[in-house]
Amino acid sequence: MQISEDALKQAYRQMKTIRMFEERLHDEIMTGEIAGFTHLYAGQEAVAVGVCEHLDYNDTIASTHRGHGHCIAKGCDVRGMMLEIYGRADGICKGKGGSMHIADIEKGMLGANGIVGGGPPIVVGAALAAKLYGDGRLAVAFSGDGACNQGTTFEAMNLAVVTNAPAIFAFENNHYSEHTGVAYAVGSEDIASRAESFGMKAWRVDGCDFFKVYETMGEVVDHVRAGKGPAAVEFDTERFFGHFEGDPQNYRGEGEIARLRKERDCITIFREHAAKNKLVSKKDLDAIDKEVSDLIDKSVEESRAAAPPTAEDVLTDVYIDYI
């Protein structure tokens, strides 16, 4: 599949933004400035970006509790996201939602979701709307190997087939549903075969290789936009941090994370592939690194100094109006 140099640079920028955003949060959470549950997406960037680079502004996605990567990949404002996670008035959701609830309908981001399996049925609804608009738009449900066991996900897959909705079920198999290995929690051979058994076409792809993800998603998106029904993709990917920040991760193998960071890092794999095939120069990629690093630094600096919401804000937004 052809992809322009500019598009590649943009994809790399997005992946790198997610990575630096998450690694910076990991550090900042240690300082105690950010409380609550934060679930980091680092390690899975090639999936969010490889999917979202195929989407238009009017395509929609729904995310999970591990949602920062999907938000950034779909175009949510990074600065606004950082402010949100710091609980500031100028946060993307005015400091009311926080890490697990970032949403921005103008970007087609229907919302991260604190409930495992909450997203897929919502996406079928958005896909049904897309079908009625009739302009080829579609909706994507990001779910993990944990959510693939929820009844809500099963219902959503069946509904999507029954209504022939242009929905894509993007299953990111990072091998852990919270702290439990996928070998224990998922009874079937894989997740894609479950989707197939509901009557939709499914793909399996290495989620740590942006180029493979991007190419596969090209086929998937073409299939769905052509009105051939919903589709599913199972991505084999890796989670570099714990289920949440603070998770001791004693269920993971000795040296497992170090090995994954060495062998399965989608950023490294991207750079190696780009260099080998002379797609983007190292100099350009390094420049992007610097640009992203500055953006994250600035966002954190600004977030630390920003004002919290005011007492009036606590009562607004329960309803659209109060007439």
Q: Which residues bind other proteins (CB under 8 A)?
A: 35-37, 84, 87-89, 91, 95-101, 113-117, 146-147, 149-152, 177-180, 184-186, 251, 308-309, 311, 313-315, 318
Q: Give min distance, CB of 316 to other proteins, in A.
A: 9
Cβ–Cβ under 8 Å, residues 261 and 44: no
Q: Please identify, using beta-carbon distances, which residue of 53 and 84 lies nearer to other proteins.
A: 84
For 218, the token pair is 């090209």
**Cα 105 from chain centre:** 15
Q: Give min distance, CB of 81 to other proteins, in A.
A: 13
For the chain, list the strands marked E by DSSP: 60-62, 139-144, 167-173, 176-177, 180-181, 201-206, 231-236
Comparing CA positions, the residue from 214, 232, 191, 171 lying closest to residue 55 is: 214
Q: Please identify, using beta-carbon distances, which residue of 112 and 138 lies nearer to other proteins.
A: 112
Q: Please identify, using beta-carbon distances, which residue of 170 and 220 lies nearer to other proteins.
A: 170
Q: Please identify, using beta-carbon distances, which residue of 14 and 99 lies nearer to other proteins.
A: 99
Q: Give min distance, CB of 320 to other proteins, in A.
A: 14
Residue 59 CB partners (closer than 8 Å, separation 6+): 108, 130, 137, 138, 139, 140
Q: Give min distance, CB of 303 to other proteins, in A.
A: 12
Query: What's phi and psi for 144, nearest 5 deg?
Result: -100, -175
Q: Please identify, using beta-carbon distances, which residue of 91 and 207 lies nearer to other proteins.
A: 91
Q: Give min distance, CB of 39 to other proteins, in A.
A: 11
